[in-house]
Structure 1
């Protein structure tokens, strides 16, 4: 390639390496990052009068136990990061993630031990995601979202020919820790997950062995008991390999959803898109709708469940500078989808939790979600007959 293109590619590769190193660095410093919160509990305890301290004699023991939970979380994270060794044993880690530890060393050499607050929040968020996706405790929350999407896919593709050469193919954007992808495959479909966050990519690549994590130990509010706050969660609740009946049925792609799937090779590549708590992660939800249209075969479906939190709406407060964030009402999103050419198949408002602590006194992370199915029209408006047909003219990408 021309020198200037080669330079641009080198710059892009270095930028990706720095991003990977920043994430691995934040995970590496999880324990030291949350220590100030535990120190705050100790400081507040020390400010109590002797009479008040006598009323809560087990608080010092509770604080010490919380430190042990955080330590065990760090052991899990350290074991995870140890898998990512540049030029290590082939096959242990995906090649694009293998440099994580070396990149973290480079990042730390440049910035020291400092971790940005939003990166520390994401490290805690990873632990809660693990509990949601890969523990028995998360089963009820998964049923509210994943369960509905899986039942809808089963209904939509009930007529898929038993003798078809391949099962229906489903794209799962914002795949997180890949539980929904594996459940789709376990149901008899093909699935391809897409995820942008290195926090999720590193963790999902590692979650093959059994661990105990403590996702709620940092939260001192709305706890019914000390045991609830410090409880361990066993993960994973099922071995991921047990959900994949054969080779070639599951794949994962890393990168920005819009950039990856707007490419020509993904035109009319999937029979369905299963989007769970995903549409509002877009800078521009209209672009997401266009890209989803692009990836679907005629007759294919978008099955979506989630709120409209719009993750980039307040990003300027922690990233600095203005960040594109197109915040539309549900009515406006639906109207835009119909204008692009989608047909509304079903529409329902449902309650679904997201990273909620099931034993907390405050269930704040329950959303009233839009659960809807849109279809890209095809010759016979059905995936089985449309899969081999001609693609309709797609909206411009």
Structure 2
């Protein structure tokens, strides 16, 4: 009986995973229709205004046609991404050349994630995104170099974990500096995109994408809306064959169960993705080796806040700081005023920026040291 029950549970889990995969594919495959509908709406709105007003905007319709061309090109990139999943998932036979049968059921939240994924190429793998990357990733990489300098340790013996790795650039850069680095990502949107960029790129700037065409407001010029980015700005294939770099799919809390395993955990714009941020802190503490370090940079934009049917614990930074100390960490370094952006169009008339907190924590090297810290 127990054996049949286990088989049933496994079957149910596989069915859920397949349905989830199908849902993500449907969202990607619906992109062209979804993006084009916004252009069609703009076209209809233009035709609804008086003719003498239309005459004042002779370039309006030609510009919409250019946006449609950019959408077509973006969809070609999406199809290439989905084709690359054939060696990533066993159930890749669900990929079709047309739109998924489940497209009608695609929800707006999933389409927002598709558009966000396209903009992630700007952030992680284009020369245009270097300024944004440097604001978020460089402090973390520089800190790891200081904590584990090549003159005092062997980088290829230092194990670094990057949960919430996105499209993998931060983990890739850490591995490029000689450290053993593993990226972890839960989102299938990000995993499909990262697999494409890391495994299908064979030269610099071989792909073109138009990430800003979906924004019809705050454009300084029509040309800015349709300007392209080129990626990757470096060839991932040129990573040294001796480098230790990997990407692992799955929920951070479920995947990493071995304690005292990692020398360093590096988190960028990650900890606020938790439903329960305390569980993240506890997990990081447990998986770090005694004396290991946690390097973090990011805001506290809790992703599950006000989301229907989802539990979410939101705490302020001063409370978070106390919890970090109560869990047993020592805070070695802290800067609560690091300004950075996240997938923001540098040419837009409106840009959101975050005043992020950057901190470095250390797990005590021994139980005795922790006991001393608690006194």
Q: Shared fold by TM > 0.5?
A: yes
- Identify if the C-alpha distance between structure 1 residues 75 and 112 changes in structure 2 by more than 3 Å, giving closer, same or farther: closer
Is 1:350–2:345 an aligned residue pair? Answer: no
Q: Distance in 1 between matches of 2:14 and 2:285?
A: 30
Is 1:326–2:333 an aligned residue pair? Answer: no
Q: CA-to-partner distance for each residue in 1:101-143, whole Å, 9 max, x for gaps? A: 52779x944x453311111111111110011100000000000
Unaligned runs of 5+ in 1: 86-92, 317-321, 380-388
Please give the secondary structure, in 1, of the residue aligned with 2:40: helix
Q: Distance in 1 between matches of 2:155 and 2:187?
A: 34
Alignment of 1:149-160 (within 5 A): 149-158=140-149
Match of 1:181 among 171, 176, 188: 171
Give 1:344 shift. 0.5
- 2:10 maps to 9
Alignment of 1:173-322 (within 5 A): 173-207=163-197, 208-209=200-201, 210-242=206-238, 244-247=239-242, 249-261=244-256, 263=257, 266-316=258-308, 322=309
Q: CA-to-partner distance for each residue in 1:363-397, whole Å, 9 max, x for gaps? A: 12x11101111110114xxxxxxxxx99989xxxx
Give 1:158 shift. 2.1
- 1:115 maps to 106
Indicate conservation of the 8 Å contact 1:84/1:101, yes or no: no
Give 1:5 shift. 1.2
- Identify if the C-alpha distance between structure 1 residues 129 and 101 changes in structure 2 by more than 3 Å, giving closer, same or farther: farther
Alignment of 1:35-184 (within 5 A): 35-85=36-86, 93-94=87-88, 97-102=89-94, 108-109=100-101, 111=102, 113-158=104-149, 161-162=152-153, 164=154, 166-184=156-174
Indicate conservation of the 8 Å contact 1:172/1:274, yes or no: yes
Q: Distance in 1 between matches of 2:78 and 2:93?
A: 12
Please give the secondary structure, in 2, of the residue aligned with 1:355: coil
Q: Distance in 2 between matches of 1:112 and 1:293?
A: 42
Indicate conservation of the 8 Å contact 1:24/1:104, yes or no: no
Indicate conservation of the 8 Å contact 1:21/1:101, yes or no: no
Give 1:43 shift. 1.5
Residues paired across the two proteins, number: 362
Give 1:183 shift. 0.3
- Identify if the C-alpha distance between structure 1 residues 100 and 331 changes in structure 2 by more than 3 Å, giving closer, same or farther: farther
Q: CA RMSD in A?
A: 2.1
Q: Distance in 1 between matches of 2:23 and 2:136?
A: 31
Q: Distance in 2 between matches of 1:278 and 1:376?
A: 19
Indicate conservation of the 8 Å contact 1:170/1:273, yes or no: yes
Q: Distance in 2 between matches of 1:234 and 1:220?
A: 21
Question: Structure 2 length as normaliser, TM-score?
Answer: 0.92
Indicate conservation of the 8 Å contact 1:303/1:374, yes or no: yes
- 1:383 maps to none
Give 1:83 shift. 2.3
- Identify if the C-alpha distance between structure 1 residues 357 and 173 changes in structure 2 by more than 3 Å, giving closer, same or farther: same
Which deviates further from its counterpart, 335-344 or 48-57? 48-57
Q: Distance in 2 between matches of 1:145 and 1:152?
A: 12
- Identify if the C-alpha distance between structure 1 residues 103 and 338 changes in structure 2 by more than 3 Å, giving closer, same or farther: farther
Give 1:161 shift. 3.4
Indicate conservation of the 8 Å contact 2:293/2:363, yes or no: yes
Unaligned runs of 5+ in 2: none
Q: Distance in 2 between matches of 1:83 and 1:391?
A: 49
Please give the secondary structure, in 1, of the residue aligned with 2:85: coil
